[in-house]
A and B are shown apart, each in its own frame.
Chain A
Amino acid sequence: MKPKAAILFTSGTNCDYETALAFNLAGGSSEIVLTKELKSKKLKDYQVIIIPGGFSYGDHFGSATIWANELKTVFQDRVSKFIDEGKLVLGVCNGFQVLVKLGFLPNTLKRNDPESVLANNSSGKFESRWVKVKVNAKSPLVFTKDIDILDMPVAHGEGNFMPKDIKTFGEMIKNNQIVLQYVDNSGFTTSEYPRNPSGSFAAIAGICDTTGRVFGLMPHPERFIFPNQNIKSYRQNAVTGLSIYKNAVDYFK
């Protein structure tokens, strides 16, 4: 059976097309699901929920604020159950912001409370550029299995990850929830702009929850699924973001 992904969509979502392409190419199948139609959908029909990037409701009043509020009522309890059943949730960019606002990430206390924030980039600007991230090999995360270094584009104005307090950060380290960190060309974690484009705390580019089944990241793996989408890596036969989606599909085999 092909695992099926529900790709959530609402006003201002704009990465749905390439996300579906990526998941299908990885061997899964996908369906774009409008948020307002979620109520009438059965989550048992899906193995993966992907919240893609975009500017949901214009990101008015802060990125993903309105979408997260909307999803809270129709979605939160059902998704908790979905995760408990051993299924996967992925949020990219705006989707990561949603998962953080809903408390699914990092969720160190397992209470679905917001424990962190994705604030304005420290450069004060929208940043569109290629970044290099390194995977934490000890992380329990399903999506990043056997991946080490990955190039991907970022495109966001609010990707500056900050944990609520030092205790949260300590828990995240202890649980190996810090999955992706921005690195320089030599592969070392970096806080320097623009290799760390958002000024993110501890160079955090992506995190998971304690189960390793919920993943949120600022870079866009779905924009690098064919080698020639990055001319530099193309010449070096580098790993592409497709591997993230393949890991998700393989998990259900």
Chain B
Amino acid sequence: MEAPVQIAASLNPHASAAPLMETPMVEIDRLSLWYGAKQALRDVSMSVPKHRVTAYIGPSGCGKSTLLRCLNRMNDLVDGVRTTGTIRIGGSDIGDPGRDVTELRKRVGMVFQKSNPFPKSIYENIAYGPRILGVKHRADLDGIVERSLRSAALWEEVQDRLGDSALGLSGGQQQRLCIGRAIAVEPDVLLMDEPCSALDPIATAKIEELMLELKNSYTIVIVTHNMQQAARVSDYTGFMLLGELVEFGVTRALFTNPRDKRTEDYITGRFG
């Protein structure tokens, strides 16, 4: 039982440990999802607490990304997707077909595994979302850009070259730019799908630091393959397997004392 010890060592000392007192931001109730005939999520129920970092771990193909994409309905873009169950964010049902998905996506931002800055300037990348929302005045935009870049811990590095192409940034900077871009529209929830998988340890550390910073104002849901990372940054962790949410709970508890045998096998490295 070496791995749990290691992970336990990286557990976040500031993480909250009392699940019962949290206010839920996202409530998922009996969510199942099919890609055509293939079922990718099975009866997932859980709630994501507000202003906390919630992590999903699990072997590849278990449906973590799928679950994440359900939260901002990015799965709608995939042909032949069918879902049952409900998801509430901030108390309202996002599955309502009459609901405006763009409004939902403004409230639920997303950062992708591969950084995807637009082929525009750094400034325009951040200003894109606010512009979509109808912010027109240059002064307003300037303020948003600076605030977002500061929040994304990127301001110091790029303040002199806001007009340069975002594609000239390093991978870690690009990913932070994407985080800044996502928070420029001031979402309630920030979804991050393996945001550090393409980054080196230093860039990863920066982003992890950033997440801890951001959770004061945003509810963060992160998917990661790196269990140390989950242990370091998250307050809550869910373990998924074959589309099922096997176990969900306070991170410390899940890593040090998993209730399910499959969780234990996974975190001790016995499969996956």
To the question of whether A and B form a pair in one complex, the answer is no
B residues lining the A interface (CB < 8 Å): none
